[in-house]
Structure 1
Amino acid sequence: MALDNGKTKTISAGEDQALLAAPLEAARKAAASTAAALRSRTDCADIERIGIPRALLYYRYGVLWTTFFEQLGREVVVSDASDKDVFDAGERVSVDECCLASKLYLGHVQSLIGSCDAVFVPSLANRGHRKGFCTKYQALPDLVANTFFDTGLRIVSLLVNETEEKADEKSAFIALGQRFGSSAADAKRAYRAAYAAQQRADRVAARAQERLVADIDQRRRQAAAAGAGERSASDPTGEAGALRWPSQEAPLAILLVAHPYVAHDPFVNGGVVDLLESMGASVLYADQTDHGKALHESFEFSETLPWIVNRELVGSVTLLHAHVDGIVLVSAFPCGPDSMTNDAVARCIQGKPILSLIVDAQSGTAGLETRIESFIDILRYQQRGGYLHG
């Protein structure tokens, strides 16, 4: 029985059972929701082999990524080096508007299908104000998911977006570690180890380059001293000595300014490094300058440049400007950030010859070789006191 506006209402047995069942059903749904939430927090726990494409920011953060997953006890599978087959595979599944680097990335993803349980595709938006990444890095998980929708490819991702989402790298990796079934403490330890490994790798590269710069400077001084001695002996008055080339040739240093995935992938850069070195040049890499120093220096060049990788490259140009004979800018077609940054470098960096190269998968290397040979010849002639000094 129940009272309804002062009147007695009779409730049937079926209605009574329904009223009793309602709270139980609500409790069951709540429990199911909680269980689903708990499962979602460890939705990657069954992944044993994680694939990482050898492309794009792998050349900047590859040590961080591989070390992190290895610290979680997972096997890391990195795709093989780039070649035409990998690029062709990526181009077939890509839209025409994608840049060369993005097409190549999709080819690397495809090469990992079947060799791992999931592929790691992070979404990197920014690391703070004026420290953003190209939009292709932010949209990468969606691009990969939609491109390989019918293959059943499993994607593991995370988001780094400090300005809008307040999601920094450390918290993103700790949350990812928990999804793999690790405790917060273990995930934090894994990230600390990965971060330290990446820092060590960066320091090793930076110090090796600093030693190379010091060696180049020393050899220059020795060549200059030898040349001065030869001029004094052959022409004590100094009237004709300036026209005599020293027998000990000074080293030729070239600063290669390119994204890491261009500078360190011979398929993308068309063998530019090998060409330069075969012509006797010592190659310095803009991306191997101390990242903190380069980033700080970049604000002297521009307060508003929005991309962190381009900032590091520009800062490296200003730091190494006095130690090199020429600068080679290499971009993968059609890179939007580079089109703006390289133009700014060419306009604002004075006193050094600059060669700007744009590479794509359709062009051969013959034209590239000719331009580099001409550039090296000009630098050698200038170094020996040729017409560029007149």
Structure 2
Amino acid sequence: MKGEITIGIPRAFLFFKYQYLWQIFFAELNCPVIISPETNKRILKDGIDSSIDESCLSAKIYMGHLSYLRGKADYILVPRIVGFGKNEVVCTKFNALYDIVKNTFKDVNLLSYNVDMANRESEWKGFMKMGRELGKNPVQVLRAYLKAKAIQAKQEHQLTAEQESLIRTEDKLKILIISHDYNTYDKVVGYPIIKCLKSLDSVPIYANAADKKKTSLKSRFISDALYWTFNKELIGAIHHYQKEVDGIVFISTFPCGPDSLVNELCLRKIKGVPMANIIVDELQGEAGLQTRIESFVDIIRERKKAGREAHIG
């Protein structure tokens, strides 16, 4: 095995959740990392061409990023995430992703790790296994993993602290964004929405930036039967921030099953705060999207104005 092994990482799906963990881990093992660029028209087209029609837009985007990395790295990282314990599972696309990629791009060398706590497949075991595959010393691999975990935790804590400070000090209109980070921060999916909200002098508050342990527990106020971990972390932010935000925007991609169910549940159960449910597909145009967001923000401003006038009266 040659000295420098390059690792490709698609800038999609769980990259936005685990980017520090992955990049630091491979850097500590002296494996250069190649990250695909932000989603663009070419990546989107390649992803659509490489996917079945029934795939959600987020999965199609992922396939486009993977296609971009073909031939540019020795291995491409495609983890298999099943669940984190009892009643703590994720969407089946994260379980099936490795097999989908393997059978779609047969010329690509994949590097993977499993997380399936119900079957005692831990993240730590998976990273140690990856290290062995790369021919690295087990002690070096363990140190790399522990350092990467520590930096990942530090970054998450910093993100949460910055947002909590923003909520306390910012006096603009605050809009809570309920959306997976791979949708929120994607150039095609979430970026146009966030950009529009900011142009309307409002401040996006991100559910994925909240303390995940707290929000996961608080999701019980909406549903005590929900078992999708990532969705629980998001909707728990509603209870966590509800008294501090002026409106809520749900962002999902068509046709995501878990999001469609969970977002509809929230829209029916949450009262007292304006909400908008935005479902993005591959044909979404920015003009219509902007008009809808502008109308939503206008409604919130009029609602607040009426509330102030009623209070004064």
Q: TM-score, normalised by structure 1?
A: 0.77
Query: Partner residue of 1:52?
Result: 9
Query: Partner residue of 1:179?
Result: 133
Structure 2 gaps, min length 5: none
Residues of 1 paired with 2:281 and 2:275: CA distance?
20
Structure 1 gaps, min length 5: 1-43, 220-250
Matched, 1:85 2:6: no
Calculate percent identity across the aligned residue pairs. Answer: 36
Deviation at 1:326, TM superposition (A): 0.4
What is the aligned length? 311
Contact 1:270/1:359 (8 A) holds in 2: no
Query: Partner residue of 2:23?
Result: 66
| Alignment deviations for residues 208-256 of structure 1 (CA, whole Å, 9 cap, x no partner) | 100101113xx4xxxxxxxxxxxxxxxxxxxxxxxxxxxxxxx211001
Query: Partner residue of 2:55?
Result: 98
Which has the higher relative contact order, 1 or 2, with Cα contacts under 8 A spaced 6 or more apart?
2
For 2:114, which of 159, 163, 168 is the aligned residue?
159
| Alignment deviations for residues 95-136 of structure 1 (CA, whole Å, 9 cap, x no partner) | 111110111111101101121111000000011122211111
For 1:265, which of 186, 189, 199 is the aligned residue?
186
Matches within 5 A, 1:1-390: 48-149=5-106, 152-163=107-118, 165-216=119-170, 219=171, 251-269=172-190, 271-385=192-306
| Alignment deviations for residues 55-93 of structure 1 (CA, whole Å, 9 cap, x no partner) | 011111111111111111100111011011101011112
SS at match of 1:124: strand
Say if 1:256 and 1:388 are closer, same or farther in 2 by CA, change over 3 A. farther
Q: TM-score, normalised by structure 2?
A: 0.95
Root-mean-square deviation (CA), in Å? 1.8
> Which of the two has higher C-alpha Rg?
1
| Alignment deviations for residues 151-185 of structure 1 (CA, whole Å, 9 cap, x no partner) | x211111111001x211111211222122222332
Contact 1:124/1:159 (8 A) holds in 2: yes
Deviation at 1:270, TM superposition (A): 5.4
SS at match of 2:189: helix
Residues of 2 paired with 1:213 and 1:280: CA distance?
15
Contact 2:184/2:191 (8 A) holds in 1: no
Residues of 2 paired with 1:136 and 1:146: CA distance?
14
| Alignment deviations for residues 14-39 of structure 1 (CA, whole Å, 9 cap, x no partner) | xxxxxxxxxxxxxxxxxxxxxxxxxx
